[in-house]
Amino acid sequence: MKKPFFYLRTRIFLVMILLVFISFLLIGVSTNFQILESSNYYHELRLERKEAQLQKAIAFQLEESKMNDDQSVFKNELNKIAMIQNISFNIYNLDGSIIHVISNVRENEDESNYQFPSIERIDSPILNKIKSSEKLKYVDIIKADDLNFRQSYSYIFDYNNNPIWILNLPYFDDDNLNAYEIRSFIFNIIQVYLLLFVIAIIISYFISIYITSPVSQIAYMMKRLTIDKSNKKIDLDVNSKEMHALVQSYNEMVDQIDNNVKELAKNQRELAWREMAKQVAHEIKNPLTPMKLSVQNFKLKFDPNDPSINSKLEDFSKTLVQQIDVLSSIATAFSSFAEFPDQKNEFIDFAEEIQFCLEIFKDHDIKFIKPKEKIQGDYDKSNLVRIVTNLVKNSIQATSELDNPNIEIELKKISNNVELKISDNGSGIPTSLKEKIFEPNFTTKNKGTGLGLSIIKKLIDSYNGKISFTSKSGKTVFIIIIPIS
């Protein structure tokens, strides 16, 4: 399973920040759209108002011109209208040909930088759109220098309400008048957004902690979950039904694990006692059988008048004593395994004690590699003798059928540890049996209780030491590391 990159708390925090950012982005886009729509609506109404005012002024002049047919006077009046209303416009015939070009000679306050073009003739499509329009008017919008250039076309009617001319009113969407208000509005809304964004980050951080705190607590407790001691339950006020179910499931799991551990320990103890009882019974039966046969045979062949009765009685006694000694050794081995050894530490020289221990194996060629410097420390002398004796015996038995047995013991000190290596050139330990070598009641020999290596491991573990081995055909090495002070 691939490990996630983010914690749940981080993911919730980032998602909340992302949602806030997206909401601000959408608000910004909608605000910008609203500003553009409001600006467009403002200019549309402004053009309509200018056009309506101009139409009224021209209609008034048409009424006045009925009494005066002088066109120059009419045009002068139109120029006055342009100056008064601060606009420029054109008048066309109904066929689209231009009649009058009226320009404002004064510089406009809001349109002084723009030059309104004059079209010599209105295109036929525009004339058709004017005629087909319900209001008999048409507004043509053209993009020019990032601004909208509007041209309004509408009929001018005579006093009989008949169209006589076409009025063309050009107009630029100039936002210079409300640019300051727009800039102020945008600056203020950005400040508000930044403040809200900072507040959202802080709130999101604490909310993510509040939401995920039960999960973090459960994760911490699950890391400490063990089967060798009592586990603590979670006593936490949760903030949702899902979290309550999760905490409750964890507490139930703790109860179940504790119950299973107790049941498993009970079963293991019962199994261990059953196996031990079977092994004890088996080991005791082995010497009892020859003892029984010896007694039966002696009873059948017993003859008080036999001249060699004394020697036969001596042989019978030796046989019984030998088998009784076997029973005694079995009892001693099981007693040693069952009892945890009491440590009687004393200051010893490890090389010297091992050398004394090897004196009982003088008949065997055992090479002992001593360190150049003395290795001394506090340790139980009897336990050291038991460890070395047992391993050396195993090596002797493993090489008993070889013509050139080679048993080697090496002692050295590494840091604050004593390292003891015992190697031999025996047949080795089969791979299939390596995992069971330290188990109680396990042995590869025809005789023995199978407790020797188990007792050694128990002795070494009591000193927080380690025992390991490597084995192949012709080379087996046991390595013992014991910490000393």
- Residue 332 maps to which CATH number? 1.10.287
Tokens 């020999």, located at residue: 445
Higher pLDDT, 49 or 312: 49
- What is the average per-residue pLDDT within 295-312? 75
- Domain tally, the chain: 3
Last-in-domain residue among 181, 197, 212 = 181
Is residue 204 situated within a structural domain?
Answer: no
CB-based contacts of 96, cutoff 8 Å, min separation 6: 121, 122, 123, 124, 126, 127, 166
Shared domain check, 293 and 394: no
Torsions phi, psi for 484 (to 5 deg): -130, 155
Shared domain check, 349 and 301: no
Shared domain check, 254 and 144: no
Q: What is the pLDDT of residues 151-207, one digit of tens each?
A: 899 998 887 888 888 898 888 877 665 667 677 777 888 888 888 888 888 888 888
- Percent helix, strand, coil in the chain, to 5, is 55, 20, 30
Higher pLDDT, 316 or 114: 316
Give the residue from 62, 326, 304, 39 showing the smallest Cα distance to 179: 39
Shared domain check, 150 and 14: yes
CA of 315: how far to CAs of 44, 217, 310, 311, 328, in Å? 135, 76, 9, 6, 20
Shared domain check, 358 and 290: no
Q: What is the pLDDT of residues 238-266, one digit of tens each?
A: 666 777 777 788 788 888 877 887 787 77
Shared domain check, 309 and 295: yes
Is residue 326 situated within a structural domain?
Answer: yes
**Which DSSP string do the residues of 54-75 spell out, in sequence order?**
HHHHHHHHHHHHTT---HHHHH
Instruction: Determine the structural domain holding residue 473 and report its residue range.
Output: 340-483
Lowest-confidence region among 46-55, 149-158, 248-257, 278-287: 278-287
Local confidence band at 67 (pLDDT 50, 70, 90 cut-offs) = very low
pTM check: above 0.75: no
Is residue 227 situated within a structural domain?
Answer: no
Shared domain check, 30 and 162: yes
Is residue 221 situated within a structural domain?
Answer: no
Shared domain check, 48 and 134: yes
Is residue 299 situated within a structural domain?
Answer: yes
DSSP assignment letter at 5: S
Q: What is the pLDDT of residues 125-144, one digit of tens each?
A: 888 888 888 888 888 888 76
- Residue 39 maps to which CATH number? 3.30.450.20
Highest mean pLDDT among 424-438, 446-460, 471-485: 471-485
Shared domain check, 34 and 145: yes
Is residue 381 situated within a structural domain?
Answer: yes
Is residue 357 situated within a structural domain?
Answer: yes
Q: How confident is the model at residue 446, as a pLDDT?
A: 43
- Residue 468 maps to which CATH number? 3.30.565.10
Q: How confident is the model at residue 111, as a pLDDT?
A: 47
Judge whether 100 and 120 are in contact, CB under 8 Å. no
Is residue 198 situated within a structural domain?
Answer: no
